Structure 1
Amino acid sequence: MAIEVRETFREGCGVREICVIGGNRYFGKRLIARLIAAGDRVTVINRGSSAPPPGVTHLIADRDDEKSLENALGSRAFDVVVDQVCYTPGQAEIARRVFSGRTRRYVMTSTVEVYEYEDSAALVREDAVDPRTVAVDLELPWDEPEFRETHYGEGKRQAEAVLAAGGPEFACVAVRVAHVLGGDDDFTGRLDHYVDRVRTGGPIAVPTVNHPATYIHVEEIADFLAWTAGAEFTGPVNAASHGVLTTGELCEAVAVHLPEGRTEFRTTEVGEVSPLSFARSYGMDNSRATKLGFTFGEAREWLPRAVAETLGKDN
């Protein structure tokens, strides 16, 4: 049952009330900056370990603790909630209960990893994984960090399923984000790995058959999430730039800046491979978002910029 809240949604008002759960780093902080620049009133919820950007309302709560989240929110209601840190079905269950009746629209940041079992050379469409048909198991050890990390795609799939089960009164979008590159604050270390290997001539471990993938620039995914917050569509949507990139293309873009370096690939059938090298395809079809009105860039056009930003961070 949706809880009753004292505040009402702001009908006909140009200023939107938007809540962002998490979002203090990487493309999350860029999203918040875009919302503020658009004139939205932004509330950020996190555990308090880091301060949000100036100009927002900051609420401290543990999203895994339903009572903590309810107490922090009080009577607040929002036009849109953007959930940057929903990783498990349990977290999604809490969010759906707490925010039902508090928001018109719920946007969950999901991942290309939901397609980890869809091994196809063709770019995968959203209907390959329908969250309404995904089985949910809340009894799995989702609270264990190692389990959560090794079941990242499954956690996101089940979280999508829980939110999708909210029905028409809980309008939900799952943004399935391609691998993100760029920015001088990329904490993932994935491009750094190739910079280090090319600079030192160290071996780059890749699978015997190394498949390409779709990507998106950090600024573009922030644009996409801001656009999604203001749209009306629901359901899953793929967010990826046009075109696929191979590991070789990533290394070529790095090598342009490191003429004294060397690129050496070493294939392996077992064991760990380098990040952004894949034994299966991770290409997403972005035609749904394109038809809805978002204009994506070309991955090959922004890749040199992403590499330059990574190298700038290292200098």
Structure 2
Amino acid sequence: MLDICLIGGSRYFGKRLIERLLTAGHRVTVLNRGSSVPPAGSAHVVADRDDEAALEAALGPLRFDVVIDQVCYTPRQAAIARRVFGPRTRRYIMTSTVEVYEHEDSPTPVREGAVDPRTVMVDLTLPWDDPGFRDAHYGEGKRQAEAVLAQDPVLPYASVRVAHVLGGDDDFTGRVAHYADRIRAGEPIAVPPVNHPATYVYVEEIADFLAWAAEQDFTGPVNAHSPGPLTTSDLCAAVERAIGGRAEFRVVDAGPLSPYAFTRAYAMDDSRARALGFTFRHTSAWLDQAVAETVGPGR
């Protein structure tokens, strides 16, 4: 049994993660600003993770075997987490993102070494507290957050670089729903001249992976995704199977594109996850189920 603290992330795959940790018999403490109540069986600490003094006070004497940080978006947040949780936990897991590879355009899936956080420059003077800036620099914020943990390590850490997540009737992104709405209305879906594939993961499996990772001892970055990159056409075909209709594509050279329509290669390599002992299913094993959960009849 482990004492595990989950920072934020109590919806979507975060809530699934909490359920898995509790089912496995772990003691779970959810730390958030109080905007959502965690599932029954977990403890609750209310604090603003950006307010270091308040966070210290709220945690008090609490100690943890593992901290899983679902909402670390900037190097400033990582620096606070490092200082506050360094003396309080044996291992820290940050949920990172495929967006750390936003400057890569590799014809082959990229491995973790393509972005080595030990060599990433950290700039704490940037306006990370500005939500607009933070959203516009999501990948950079995650890269620099990883770098804070890697370059001045005070505790063992792992960063889980999560692919684009699909599935669930609680998918709040609206991205797959965008396809369904346009197919139902007979409206075109904007795609680039070259429709590059990207890597994805099923919401249930990323919850499985994070719950599994909490019980392991590996450190450093790891890509988390299913083999079998998907294009916009692949996703729309799954939507067609779920709701009927036929997708119409409009090729555009400039201007807004549909969600998950990429102008560059966007695939990760999953060999490290497999070497560590976790195997994600191929996208073909779950794609139709995931899409139907989100946009199927009655959605």
TM-score band, normalised by the shorter chain? over 0.9
| Percent of residue pairs identical | 67
AA at the equivalent of 1:295: T
CA displacement at 1:268 relative to structure 2? 1.3
- Indicate the residue corresponding to 1:5 in structure 2: none
Letter of the 1:235 counterpart: G
CA deviations 1:73-120 (Å, max 9, x no partner) are 001110000000000000000000001111110000000000000111
Q: In 1, distance between residues paired with 2:149 and 2:280?
A: 27
Contact 1:173 1:233 in 2 (8 A): yes
Q: Which of 153, 156, 166 is the equivalent residue of 1:171? A: 156
Ranges in structure 1 where 5+ consecutive residues have no aligned partner? 1-14
Q: CA deviation at 1:215?
A: 0.4
Decide whether aligned partners of structure 1 residues 314 and 98 sit closer, same or farther in structure 2, where only a CA change above 3 A counts. Answer: farther
Match of 1:219 among 196, 200, 204: 204
The residue aligned with 1:292 is 276
1:133 aligns with 2:119: yes
- Match in the other structure for 2:171: 186
So what's the TM-score if we normalise by structure 2?
A: 0.98
Q: Is the 8 A contact 2:195 2:262 kept in 1?
A: yes
RMSD after superposition: 1.0
2:260 paired with 1:283: no
Q: How does 1:268-279 map to 2 (within 5 A)?
A: 268-279=252-263
CA distance in 2, matches of 1:218, 1:241: 11
Of 289, 292, 298, which aligns to 1:308?
292
Instruction: Return the offset for 1:313.
Output: 7.8
Q: Write the letter of the residue equivalent to 2:207.
A: A
Give matches, 1:93-172, under 5 Å. Answer: 93-167=79-153, 169-172=154-157
Measure, in 1, the Cα distance between the counterparts of 2:254 and 2:231.
Answer: 20
The letter for the 2-side match of 1:53 is P
How much has 1:252 moved relative to structure 2? 0.7
CA contact (8 A) 1:96 1:166 kept: no
Paired residues of 1:184 and 1:313 also in contact (CA < 8 A): no
2:52 aligns with 66
CA distance in structure 2 between the partners assigned to 1:235 and 1:314 by the alignment: 42
Using the TM superposition, give the Cα deviation of residue 266 of structure 1 relative to its aligned residue in structure 2, in angstroms. Answer: 0.8
What is the distance in 2 between the residues matched to 1:281 and 1:145? 28
Superposition TM-score, scaled by structure 1 size = 0.93
Q: CA deviation at 1:314?
A: 5.0
Question: Which residue number corresponds to residue 248 of structure 1?
Answer: 233
C-alpha separation in 2, matches of 1:159 and 1:307: 32
What SS is found at the alignment partner of 1:213?
coil
Give yes or no for contact 2:242–2:296 (8 Å, CA) kept in 1: no
Question: Take 1:153 and 1:242, find their aligned partners in 2: how far apart are those partners?
Answer: 22
Task: Measure the CA separation in 2 of the matches of 1:248 and 1:62.
Answer: 41
Given candidates 217, 231, 234, the residue that maps to 1:232 is 217
- 1: CA distance between counterparts of 2:146 and 2:66? 17
- Quote the Cα distance in structure 2 between the aligned partners of 1:254 and 1:221: 21
Where 1:244 maps in the other structure, the secondary structure is coil
CA displacement at 1:208 relative to structure 2: 1.5
Q: How many residue pairs are counted as aligned between the two chains?
A: 299
Task: Give the counterpart letter for 2:24 in structure 1.
Answer: A
Which deviates the most, 114-123 or 304-313?
304-313
* SS at 2:242 equivalent: coil
